[in-house]
Amino acid sequence: MEKFQSTKLPSLLESLSIGSNSLEGGIPKSFGDACALRSLDMFNTSLSEEFPMIIHHLSGCARYSLERLYLGMNQINGTLPDLSIFSSLRELNLHGNKLNGEIPKDNKFPPQLEQLDLQSKSLKGVLTDYHFANMSKLYFLDLSDNSLLALAFSQNWVPPFQLSHIGLRSCKLGPVFPKWLETQNQFGDIDISNAEIADMVPKWFSANLAFREWISMNISYNNLHGEIPTGTQLQSFNASCYEDNLDLCGPPLEKLCIDGKPAQEPIVKVPEDENLLFTREFYMSMAIGFVISFWGVFGSILINRSWRHAYFKFISNFSNAIYVMAAVKVFKWHQRG
């Protein structure tokens, strides 16, 4: 571990990949002096340093050259510092760390950023259009599972980017269906489930899904209501994509709509006591009737010897009669043959 902390990278090194190792601790400060470093991959290496300190260590001349920073699946904590100093950074992956704390309001993401993956569990604060200013190259955005993180963009904000991946599961997007998504028409998968959206599914959302060969969508576990726009690609998704939106109706859900609202099945209220009384009397009368009939007939036969002999004699004579009739029929059939 001490040797790693004292490691110095060759001045002309452009790419370093040491993922899936047990390095622990943090990134050596000397890494920031690697002026030609373009890609640093330390995915799944048990790093446990605070992210602001990592950025501080990389803020030497490497901040001008670094394009890819992969630090996912570590134990990195702390919040997001200002990353705009990394003027060439195109890909940032911090997926599966322990990031926490509030994102400062005046921070900006690097303008050249194309992929941003901050899936975590404890980041909080409010992201606005200011944070995403001038990010015209961004196409991959995943902030999933940050349940204390809200996205609050201006009502008429038009993002400078077109996303192909939108991962905002369990972020705070509502209560209104995010208007800025209307500008996004190139995404292949979108997950805005459990995002506190309490609105109707807008028609423009279905229009954005049209004419795609393949697309993945999840808007479950919100408070969506009303009818799913019909005649659109929204009917082609599995019902699980809409799960737990109790007031949502229309195909592909089984719940039908009447005037844009879920149909209510008529409920006939029967007094509970009366219903129980009827059920109890009905089954009691059946049981009593069966017992009386059974023992009235067979009990008498068992108790009275003469009746018992007469009963078995009747059964015997009846069986003999059936046998004789069958034998005669068979005999006549053979004679005809």
Share of the chain above pLDDT 70, in %: 78
Pairwise pLDDT comparison (171 vs 262), residue with the higher score: 171
DSSP 49: S
**What's the pLDDT at 323?**
64
How far from each other are the two terminal CA atoms of the chain, in whole angstroms?
Answer: 105
Q: Which of 165-179, 209-223, 259-273, 318-332 has the lowest mean pLDDT?
A: 259-273
- CATH topology for 2-262? 3.80.10
DSSP 92: E
Tokens of 44: 């799944």
Pairwise pLDDT comparison (46 vs 305), residue with the higher score: 46
C-alpha to C-alpha distance for 284 and 311, rounded to whole angstroms? 30
Looking at residues 250-270, what average pLDDT do you find? 72
Q: Which of 4-18, 197-211, 217-231, 305-319 has the lowest mean pLDDT?
A: 305-319
Residue 266 banded pLDDT, cuts 50, 70, 90: very low
**What's the pLDDT at 269?**
43
284-289-294 Cα angle (round to 5)? 130
**What's the pLDDT at 305?**
63
Residue 274 banded pLDDT, cuts 50, 70, 90: very low
**Tokens 């490691």 belong to residue:** 7
Whether the CA torsion 109, 169, 218, 127 is positive or negative: it is negative
Decide the pairing of beta strands 77-78 and 98-102: parallel
**What's the pLDDT at 2?**
46
C-alpha to C-alpha distance for 43 and 40, rounded to whole angstroms? 9
Decide the pairing of beta strands 189-191 and 216-218: parallel
**What's the pLDDT at 121?**
84
Share of the chain above pLDDT 90, in %: 63
Is 267 a residue whose pLDDT tops 50? no
- The whole-model pTM stands at 0.75
Round the average pLDDT of the chain to a whole number and report it: 86
Q: How do residues 133-182 score in pLDDT, each as one tens digit?
A: 999 999 999 999 999 999 999 989 999 999 999 999 999 999 999 999 99
**DSSP H helical ranges for the chain:** 2-5, 51-57, 62-65, 203-209, 272-294, 300-303, 305-336
Q: Which of 174-188, 202-216, 295-309 has the lowest mean pLDDT?
A: 295-309
DSSP string, 171-211: SB--SS--GGGGG----SEEE-TTS---S---HHHHHHHTT
Residue 188 banded pLDDT, cuts 50, 70, 90: very high
In 3D space, the residue among 63, 61, 106, 60 whose CA is nearest the CA of residue 81 turns out to be 106
C-alpha to C-alpha distance for 127 and 31, rounded to whole angstroms? 30
CB 208 within 8 A of CB 181: yes
Tell me the CA distances in angstroms from 23 to 43, 74, 191, 193, one per residue in order.
Answer: 11, 10, 34, 36
Tokens of 274: 């009366």
Q: How do residues 218-258 score in pLDDT, each as one tens digit?
A: 999 999 999 999 877 899 999 999 999 999 999 999 998 88
Highest mean pLDDT among 181-185, 283-287, 321-325: 181-185
Q: How do residues 78-116 score in pLDDT, each as one tens digit?
A: 999 999 999 999 999 999 999 999 999 999 999 999 999
Residue 337 banded pLDDT, cuts 50, 70, 90: low
